[in-house]
Amino acid sequence: MAMYASFIHAVASLLLCVLAFGLSVMGRPTTFLQDFKVTWADYHIKQIDGGRAIQLILDQNSGCGFASKSQYLFGRVSMKIKLVPGDSAGTVTAFYMNSNTDSVRDELDFEFLGNRTGQPYTVQTNIYAHGKGDREQRVNLWFDPAADFHTYTILWNHHHIVFYVDDVPIRVYKNNEAKGIPFPKFQPMGVYSTLWEADDWATRGGLEKIDWSKAPFFAYYKDFDIEGCPVPGPTTCASNPRNWWEGTTYQALNALELRKYRWVRINHMIYDYCTDKSRYPVTPPECFAGI
Ligand SMILES: *[C@@H]1O[C@H](CO)[C@@H](O)[C@H](O)[C@H]1NC(C)=O
């Protein structure tokens, strides 16, 4: 009986392997509607290029938003975004993953805070693990993110969570459960994006107001790519060490990525909750845990 079970298991794993390989060569990226649906103000999201790209619109009537149809447990999500150009102060474009569970929320946030013409965009990242957030970091982008598309990626595996801007890791949150630090790993997360007005806090802490005479504001997205374990889906998927995003090259930054990560932190980081003594007289433990 045991042998029979292990034989079935072997065949099932082989099938899963073939299936996973098949999926990975299916020719991603996909169209918007394959993986996503509009969740807020569908008249403000326009499909372009045969549905391979979209335009988000913000005006005085409304912002807009979209979400993935599935949730995922571990994986890598990326998309190319061209942010609101010119005077974008007070606008916020967000790209995030969220477990959508109120009390014990897990969430991984990219928030792009607009600015006055010629002033740098700020990227704020935040991480909620088991219901606790308040882990904001901010970097000013070293290029104009409204002049062209750039790739924004969240990698989430059993070893760490990494936020990438193109090929530059701007943030790493290591799995330090062994040191008692919470790490999101029990709840699947959906992928979300919104464009909205937040001039009460976004730009220079709310000092710079949105200039509606410049509206409507547009942001563009394309090359949607979600690779992960969909939930509901095969229950063994998330714990399968053969998922490519769990592979050795994705378990820690390589030497080149480490250099880029240090470069960002030294040259472009403008806020880190880890060093905010007025907010955290006692430095949170994950801040010492290294990467
Ligand atoms: C906007 O530009 C100002 C001045 O360069 C800078 O201090 C700030 O960090 C920028 N970003 C935001 C979101 O305010």
Going by alpha carbons, the residue nearest to atom 10 of ligand 1 is 120
> 258 CA distance to ligand 1 centroid (A)?
26
Q: Is 257 a catalytic residue?
A: no
Residue 24, pLDDT score: 45
Going by alpha carbons, the residue nearest to atom 11 of ligand 1 is 122
Ligand 1 touching residue 203 (CB < 6 A): yes
pLDDT in tens, the chain (291 residues): 444 555 455 545 544 544 454 444 445 557 999 999 999 999 999 999 999 999 999 999 999 999 999 999 999 999 999 999 999 999 999 999 999 998 899 999 999 999 999 999 999 999 999 999 999 999 999 999 999 999 999 999 999 999 999 999 999 999 999 999 999 999 999 999 999 999 999 999 999 999 999 999 999 999 999 999 999 999 999 999 999 999 999 999 999 999 999 999 999 999 999 999 999 999 999 998 777
Which ligand 1 atom sits closest to the C-alpha of 121?
Answer: 11
Q: Is 111 a catalytic residue?
A: yes
Per-residue tokens: 232: 């509901």
pTM of the model: 0.90
Ligand 1 touching residue 88 (CB < 6 A): no
Nearest of 1, 72, 84, 69 to residue 36 by alpha carbon: 69
Instruction: Catalogue all structural domains in the chain, each as residue range(s) with its CATH number.
Output: 31-288 (2.60.120.200)
Residue 13, pLDDT score: 54
Ligand 1 touching residue 68 (CB < 6 A): no
Instruction: Give strand pairing partners of 129.
Output: 132
Ligand 1 touching residue 204 (CB < 6 A): yes
The rounded distance, in Å, linking the Cα atoms of 242 and 13 is: 10
> 174 CA distance to ligand 1 centroid (A)?
28
Residue 102, pLDDT score: 80
Ligand 1 touching residue 179 (CB < 6 A): no
Mutation test residue for ligand 1: of 111, 122, 209, 268, the one with most atoms within 8 Å of CB: 122
